């Protein structure tokens, strides 16, 4: 399935008197991979949840393929830091939650390298394996959009690198649109076509990452990393 085009115009989101998102204008091309970074509490996860339809907007419009959307869309999937597996169901059944097709579930497990774990219980899996199951569950729904909310944040360094590579590989193969929220600027640059910085509820930086894939942490990579980090840490003067 081809990725969805997303257009956000003048988006506001408030919780009572607290305004979390302020006049967000944001466009994502079909099949594009965008990362959203920023300090804790800046509004990046709230933005992701509004795109997912898990939060209603206070003002503005979100469109998918030029059609206004409200609520959760059938072909949108989301991954969280917690894999959110049902411990009383085996791996295959967890992948089939919301996706009743057994063949697609088995194919998705094969794509993440866990088909042999189909009959295992989530409790015996490692953290990385649990997130692979979560990714398989997302893929089994034939998504045109996958939203990643810090899905690798709790993993050890080596497993995180392996998961980054797997996500990139599957995205390149299937070309679903991807939006990743992460605190890790390096991870954002490794995975994304663009990195968007949220500050005080608004977009303050939108950087195209013009590096070949797979990304190598060379001098050009470091330039992007330092530029974004300096802005986040209020050491730079902007670009």
Rg (C-alpha) for the chain, rounded Å, is 18
Chain segment 82-100, per-residue pLDDT in tens: 999 999 999 999 999 988 7
Kindly report the backbone phi and psi dihedral angles of residue 94, in degrees, each rounded to the nearest multiple of 5, phi listed first: -60, -40
Q: Cα dihedral angle (117, 119, 120, 121), rounded to 10 degrees?
A: 140
Half-sphere exposure of 7 (CA within 13 A, CB side): 7
CB atoms near residue 24 (< 10 Å): 22
For residue 26, is it within any domain? no
pLDDT average, residue stretch 108-125: 97
- What is d(CA 37, CA 232) in angstroms, rounded to the nearest whole number? 9
Is it the case that residue 8 has pLDDT exceeding 90? Answer: yes
Chain segment 31-73, per-residue pLDDT in tens: 999 999 999 889 999 999 999 999 999 999 999 999 999 899 9
For residue 87, the model assigns a pLDDT of 96
Number of structural domains (the chain) is 1
For residue 132, is it within any domain? yes
For residue 99, the model assigns a pLDDT of 81
Q: 148 CB contacts (<8 Å, ≥6 apart)?
A: 78, 79, 167, 178, 179, 180, 181, 182
pTM of the full structure: 0.94
For residue 12, is it within any domain? no
For residue 137, is it within any domain? yes
Banded pLDDT at 1 (limits 50, 70, 90): low
Banded pLDDT at 191 (limits 50, 70, 90): very high
Share of the chain above pLDDT 70, in %: 97
Question: Which range marks the domain in which residue 121 is found?
Answer: 83-142
pLDDT average, residue stretch 188-192: 98
For residue 188, the model assigns a pLDDT of 98
Is it the case that residue 232 has pLDDT exceeding 70? Answer: yes
For residue 92, is it within any domain? yes
pLDDT average, residue stretch 140-165: 94
For residue 90, is it within any domain? yes
For residue 238, is it within any domain? no
**Residue 105 in tokens:** 């579930």
Banded pLDDT at 226 (limits 50, 70, 90): very high
For residue 234, the model assigns a pLDDT of 77
For residue 238, the model assigns a pLDDT of 40
For residue 151, the model assigns a pLDDT of 93
CA 2 to each of CA 50, 65, 77, 83, 106: distance values in angstroms, whole numbers, following the listed order:
22, 11, 14, 25, 21
């Amino acid at each position: 399935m081809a990725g969805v085009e997303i257009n956000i115009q003048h988006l506001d989101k408030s919780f009572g008197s607290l305004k979390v998102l302020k006049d967000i204008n944001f466009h994502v091309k079909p099949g594009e991979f965008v990362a959203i970074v920023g300090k804790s509490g800046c509004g990046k996860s709230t933005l992701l949840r509004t795109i997912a339809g898990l939060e209603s907007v206070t003002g503005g419009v979100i469109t998918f393929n030029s059609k206004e959307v409200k609520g959760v869309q059938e072909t949108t999937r989301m991954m969280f830091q917690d894999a959110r597996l049902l411990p009383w169901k085996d791996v295959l059944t967890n992948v089939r939650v919301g996706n009743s097709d057994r063949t697609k579930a088995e194919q998705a497990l094969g794509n993440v390298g866990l088909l042999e774990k189909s009959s295992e219980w989530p409790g015996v899996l490692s953290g990385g394996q649990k997130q692979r199951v979560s990714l398989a569950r997302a893929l089994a729904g034939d998504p045109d959009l996958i939203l990643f909310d810090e899905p690798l944040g709790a993993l050890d360094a080596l497993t995180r690198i392996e998961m980054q590579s797997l996500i990139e590989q599957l995205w390149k193969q299937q070309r679903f649109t991807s939006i990743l929220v992460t605190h890790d600027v390096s991870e954002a640059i490794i995975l994304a076509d663009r990195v968007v910085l949220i500050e005080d509820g608004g977009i303050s930086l939108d950087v195209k990452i013009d590096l070949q894939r797979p990304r190598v942490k060379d001098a050009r990579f470091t330039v992007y990393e330092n530029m974004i980090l300096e802005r986040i840490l209020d050491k730079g003067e902007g670009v």
